Amino acid sequence: MKSPRAARIAGALLFIFGGLTLFAGPAAAAQTTTPTFPVPKQNVPPPPPGKGKVIFSRSTDQNGQTTTQGNPAAAPTGPVTAKDAEREAVTFTGFDMDVRLRLSDHHIAVRALITIRNDGKSPLSQIPLQISSSLQWERIRVQDRDATIQASLLNSDADHTGKLWEAAVPLAAPLAPGASLALDVTYSGPIEINAQRLLALGTPEDVALHSDWDEIGAGFTGLRGFGNVVWYPASSVPVLLGDGARLFDEMGAHKLRLSGAHFRMRLTVEFPAGQPPTIALVNGHPAALNVASQGSLTTDVAGVAVAQSDQSILGFEAPSLFVAARRSHAGPDLTTPDLNLWTTPEDESNAQLWLDAATRVTPFLQGWLGQRPRAELSVLDLPDPQDAPFETGALLVTTIRDASPDQLGDVMAHALTHAWMQSPRAWLSEGVAHFMGTLWIEKQSGREKAISALEAGRPALTLIEPASPGVSPGQPLAQASSPAYYRTKAGYVLWMLRDLVGDPTLSAALRAYDPKQDLGIPTIPSLFERLLEQAGARHDLGWFFADWIDADKGLPDLAIQNVHSNPASGGNWLVAVEVVNSGYAAAEVPVTVRTDGATVTQRLRILGRGKAMQRILIQNKPTEVQVNDGTVPEVEASLHVTRIDQNIPPNQPSDSHSNPPSAP
């Protein structure tokens, strides 16, 4: 039987690693030369065995540093020499990679020219570099000199094996804070499906293997990057599944630190005879594959395909690589296709269903985000229908299965938004996709259903928000790295901005947003705030960005303190509603007064740790007052209703309570 803990972990993996469930700093000058292979190997520790039992020992020492102990057969030659402060100080600003895949052997060989920057407060005497434990460091050069490799095996669930090889690269002279350094690194080894980190936690094998499906193989190669398989050099604090949300926070922090890094790749794929791949996707973008002619070769000679990803700038993403044999199904606009499905033979018949869903959703997205997207959305068919879906930028990796039009519409509304919104800001890249997905639900099923979709993520958000700015700085949304912030809170923030400025203004700002102008150090006001203020009549959004985006003041905590209702002339009633905010974040919420035949709604702003009163004139005797409608997230419920009993004095409401929006 699946344990509750394993079930929670599996659910978290499906949500975080998949990103989408279907049915539920400038770098140094770019390198212009292609690294050559092979290169001589140095004296390094042997690679860990490909088979056999791995025993984990996970702990921290008295100084809070991660300590590890692995299988003696794979024990490193020296102690762990890097400290967490050193790992956190290293920021990668450039990747120039030569990647060679040998599909029949599940093998990868990489030579990478990488540029790192010391973003710490102290000089670095060594550089920690990490790769998956299934790979082996072969050579590391610093300033044209071979460096001594002292590799240690770390326990870290940032990789599907549950371990990382960390090389502590000594420097001849310390790297000063803010200074950059280029390194030439070479490594290789096999990458096969490995769910060791999940199996060690007691996750059922079938669930584990469908979550950790990264591998190099003849029909399908999928390398999702940090958090799944560390196939490129990284530097991170070792984190473990089951330790709260630390792994997922570290995954977000890793992507945030890579934002703005320059990336280029040359890819060579050696494939079994007669089984050429048809698609290569680097960081979510298609790279044209050129397959060498096999006309004069015998059937037992492997074929070769090459591709190149020209220099680009990473957004909020972990570098990823996919190579597969799939059939292409382009979107309806064949001259400038915005969608391409890559299917297995088993799912060929479902392609048209997905294209039809995209056709239905596209006009809605065009109305909000503009006529043409910035990128093409690629949907890549997974080899097993039970595998967890995954998304990165304008790439959705999932099973292209049969599904209802409503289900596919919800999926495509979210996924296609990534083709329009390309941003290094996580809260815009992911938050706008979440926002547009809920707007599509509103369009199809009504506002109540959309607000219920928002409410589903609020409990997790309340758990990590600080009780007050003095208790914890939280995560300012502009620099958020946790999914609960850059997805859930960002979705709420965009709904609140919609109510503050109106649909036309918000749409105009989203259309005008240019990610090329949004790189570098955060500014106040931010680019997006300026676009909103320029597009609409409201120019007082500073208070909102200060409390909700540029800083994290937690969530508001509202309550209806008093309701005063008095008859006025002509059958009208004047209702005064006093609202108190026990939280630290200001909020502007709808205040609604209802009678048996009329409803009047006005908006009220309540500052953090403050109170405010709204007076509303309404025809006939009032029966009910409501504050908030679920669009502003609160510490407790996000909807407050008070029944007005006219037999009780006006300053004593008869029934004040808070209820969440009704379930779908």
Q: What is the pLDDT of residues 46-80, one digit of tens each?
A: 444 333 333 233 333 433 344 433 333 333 445 55
**Which tokens go with 499?**
């109510």
Q: Map residue 325 onto helix, strand or coil.
A: coil
Q: Using CA atoms, how far apart are residues 36 and 166, in angstroms rounded to an integer?
A: 24
The DSSP H or E segment spanning 461 is helix 458-464
- Weakest-pLDDT range from 58-62, 348-352, 425-429, 634-638: 58-62
What pLDDT is attached to residue 149? 86
Q: pLDDT-derived band of residue 297, with 50, 70 and 90 as boundaries?
A: low
Q: pLDDT-derived band of residue 401, with 50, 70 and 90 as boundaries?
A: very high
Q: Would you state the CATH architecture of domain 25-253+260-316?
A: Sandwich (2.60)
Q: Residue 201 has what DSSP assignment?
A: T
What pLDDT is attached to residue 296? 57
Q: Which of 195, 243, 228, 230 is nearest to 87 (CA)?
A: 230
Q: What is the pLDDT of residues 604-629, one digit of tens each?
A: 999 999 999 999 999 999 999 999 99
Q: What is the pLDDT of residues 82-97, one digit of tens each?
A: 999 999 999 999 999 9
Q: What is the pLDDT of residues 406-455, one digit of tens each?
A: 999 999 999 999 999 988 899 999 999 999 999 999 999 999 999 999 99
Is the pLDDT reported for residue 642 higher than 80?
Answer: yes
CATH of domain 426-548: 1.10.390
Q: Using CA atoms, how far apart are residues 405 and 389, in angstroms rounded to an integer?
A: 19
The DSSP H or E segment spanning 96 is strand 90-102
Q: Would you state the CATH architecture of domain 558-658?
A: Sandwich (2.60)
- On whether the CB atoms of residues 649 and 564 are closer than 8 A, the answer is no
DSSP string, 600-662: EEEEEEE-TT-EEEEEEEEES---EEEE--SSS--SS-S-EEEE--TTS-TTS-SEEEE-PPP
**Which tokens go with 212?**
């950790």
Model pTM score? 0.84
Q: What is the pLDDT of residues 458-498, one digit of tens each?
A: 999 999 999 888 888 899 999 998 999 999 999 999 999 99
Q: pLDDT-derived band of residue 638, with 50, 70 and 90 as boundaries?
A: confident
Say which residues have a Cβ less than 8 Å from residue 121's Cβ, sequence separation at least 6.
89, 177
Q: Which of 658, 361, 316 is nearest to 490 (CA)?
A: 316
Q: pLDDT-derived band of residue 295, with 50, 70 and 90 as boundaries?
A: low
**Mean pLDDT of all residues in 390-411:** 95
Cα 104–107–108 angle (5° rounding)? Answer: 135
**Dihedral angle of Cα 352, 354, 356, 358, to the nearest 10 degrees:** -140
Which residues, listed in sequence order, are joined to residue 577 by a DSSP beta bridge?
563, 614
User: What is the chain's length?
Assistant: 664
Amino acid identity, position 339: L
The DSSP H or E segment spanning 167 is strand 163-175
Q: What is the pLDDT of residues 97-120, one digit of tens each?
A: 999 999 999 999 999 999 999 999
Q: Residue 369 has what DSSP assignment?
A: H
Say which residues have a Cβ less than 8 Å from residue 413's Cβ, sequence separation at least 6.
361, 364, 365, 436, 437, 439, 440
What pLDDT is attached to residue 333? 61
Q: What is the pLDDT of residues 142-162, one digit of tens each?
A: 999 999 888 999 999 999 999
Fold match, 25-253+260-316 / 426-548: no
Is the pLDDT reported for residue 125 higher than 90?
Answer: yes
Question: Average per-residue pLDDT in the chain?
Answer: 85
**Which tokens go with 93?**
């600003």
CA-based diameter of the chain, in Å?
97
What pLDDT is attached to residue 521? 66
Which residues, listed in sequence order, are joined to residue 341 by a DSSP beta bridge?
329, 379
Q: What is the pLDDT of residues 551-610, one digit of tens each?
A: 999 999 999 999 999 999 988 999 999 999 999 999 999 999 999 989 999 999 999 999
What pLDDT is attached to residue 274? 87
**Tokens 């808070």 correspond to what residue?**
658
Which residues, listed in sequence order, are joined to residue 155 by a DSSP beta bridge?
163
**Tokens 């993520």 correspond to what residue?**
457
Q: Which of 292, 286, 293, 324 is nearest to 306 (CA)?
A: 292
Residue extents of the structural domains in the chain: 25-253+260-316, 426-548, 558-658
